[in-house]
C-alpha cells in the first residue's frame, strides 16, 4: 500500500470510523507501515485539532478521535441524549484519590475520605475506570488500584501527567515505599476486609435499585 503523503488522512479516517481507541499495532498492520511511523505521524497530527470541535487522544498503546468536552451539551441536545450517566460524588471523590495518588490501597482511599468506599470502588471498577494493578507486599497483601486507559479516554487525557495540578493534603501512601507484587489476574474487590462503617449509597442509586426490585 502506497501512502507517502496520505498516511495521516488514512489514520484519521480509520479513527473517525472506529469511534473507539485503535492500537498503533492495528493501524500499522492495516496501513503496512511500522508502529514507530504510526506514532510519529499521530503526534504530528495533534496541532491540527487544537482549534476544532474534535480532538486526537494519544495513549500509550492506542489513539482515538473524539469530541471535545465543551461541546457535550450541544451534542446531547442534537442527538436527543437525556440520561446524564454521570458518577455520584462519592465515586468522583474515590476516582480523584486514585488518579492523583496511584497506585493506592482501599485502606488509603478510606483513610482520606473517612468512610467506607467499597460501593464506589465497585462502580468505578465495573465502568473500567480503575483496576487492580498489583498487591502490596505487606501482611494481608492488600490490592493496589490505578486508573485505566478508559479513564484517560473518558476525561480526554493522554496520560495521568496531563491531570490538572492540585494541592491535596493526604496521608503518606504506603504503596510509594513498600514492595509491590504485580497483579496478573483480575480479583474481586470483596477480597479486601470490609470496613467497619458501611458507605451509604447516593439517593439516586438507592432509588434505582428499589425500582428494579
**Cβ–Cβ < 8 Å for 121, 131:** no
**Cβ–Cβ < 8 Å for 63, 41:** no
The pLDDT value recorded for residue 104 is 92
CA atoms within 13 A on the CB side of 136: 22
CATH topology of domain 7-71: Arc Repressor Mutant, subunit A (1.10.10)
* Rounded Cα distance, 148 and 126, in Å: 12
Give the distance between the most distant pair of CA atoms in the chain: 64
Take residue 212 and report the three cell numbers written for it: 428494579
Domain extent listing, the chain: 7-71, 89-212
Strands (E), the chain: 22-23, 54-58, 62-67, 104-105, 130-136, 143-147, 180-182
Sheet order of strands, 130-136 included: 104-105, 143-147, 130-136, 180-182
CB atoms within 10 A of CB 39: 16
Give the CA distances from residue 165 to residues 84, 91, 137, 205, in Å, rounded to whole numbers and listed in that order.
27, 20, 30, 31
Q: Is 87 helix (H, G, I), strand (E, B) or coil?
A: coil
* Rounded Cα distance, 73 and 76, in Å: 5
Question: What does pTM read for this prediction?
Answer: 0.58
Closest CA to 33 of 4, 58, 12, 9: 4
Closest CA to 24 of 44, 40, 45, 3: 40
Q: Do domains 7-71 and 89-212 have the same CATH topology?
A: yes
The 10s digit of each residue's pLDDT in 67-122 is 888 888 888 788 776 655 678 889 999 999 999 999 999 999 999 888 899 999 99
The confidence band for 46, taking pLDDT boundaries of 50, 70 and 90, is very high
**Percent of the chain's residues with pLDDT above 70:** 74
The 10s digit of each residue's pLDDT in 153-202 is 888 788 888 888 876 656 666 666 556 676 664 444 444 544 444 454 55
Domain 89-212 part of CATH 1.10.10.10: yes
- Estimate to the nearest angstrom the gap between the alpha carbon of 29 and the chain centroid: 26
* Rounded Cα distance, 210 and 212, in Å: 5
Amino acid at each position: 500500500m502506497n501512502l507517502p503523503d496520505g498516511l495521516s488522512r488514512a489514520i484519521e479516517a480509520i479513527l473517525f470510523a472506529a469511534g473507539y481507541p485503535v492500537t498503533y499495532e492495528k493501524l500499522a498492520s492495516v496501513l503496512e507501515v511500522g508502529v514507530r511511523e504510526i506514532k510519529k505521524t499521530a503526534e504530528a497530527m495533534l496541532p491540527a485539532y487544537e482549534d476544532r470541535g474534535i480532538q486526537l487522544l494519544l495513549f500509550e498503546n492506542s489513539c482515538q478521535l473524539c469530541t471535545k468536552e465543551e461541546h457535550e451539551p450541544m451534542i446531547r441536545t442534537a442527538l436527543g441524549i437525556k440520561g446524564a450517566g454521570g458518577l455520584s460524588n462519592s465515586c468522583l471523590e474515590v476516582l480523584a484519590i486514585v488518579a492523583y495518588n496511584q497506585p493506592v490501597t482501599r485502606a488509603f482511599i478510606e483513610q482520606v475520605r473517612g468512610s467506607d468506599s467499597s460501593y464506589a470502588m465497585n462502580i468505578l471498577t465495573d465502568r473500567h475506570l480503575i483496576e487492580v494493578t498489583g498487591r502490596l507486599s505487606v501482611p494481608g497483601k492488600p490490592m493496589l488500584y490505578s486508573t485505566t486507559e478508559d479513564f484517560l479516554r473518558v476525561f480526554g487525557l493522554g496520560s495521568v501527567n496531563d491531570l490538572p495540578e492540585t494541592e491535596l493534603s493526604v496521608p503518606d501512601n504506603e504503596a510509594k515505599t513498600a514492595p509491590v507484587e504485580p497483579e496478573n489476574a483480575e480479583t474481586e474487590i470483596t477480597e479486601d476486609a470490609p470496613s467497619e462503617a458501611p458507605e451509604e449509597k447516593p439517593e439516586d442509586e438507592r432509588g434505582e435499585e428499589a425500582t428494579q426490585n
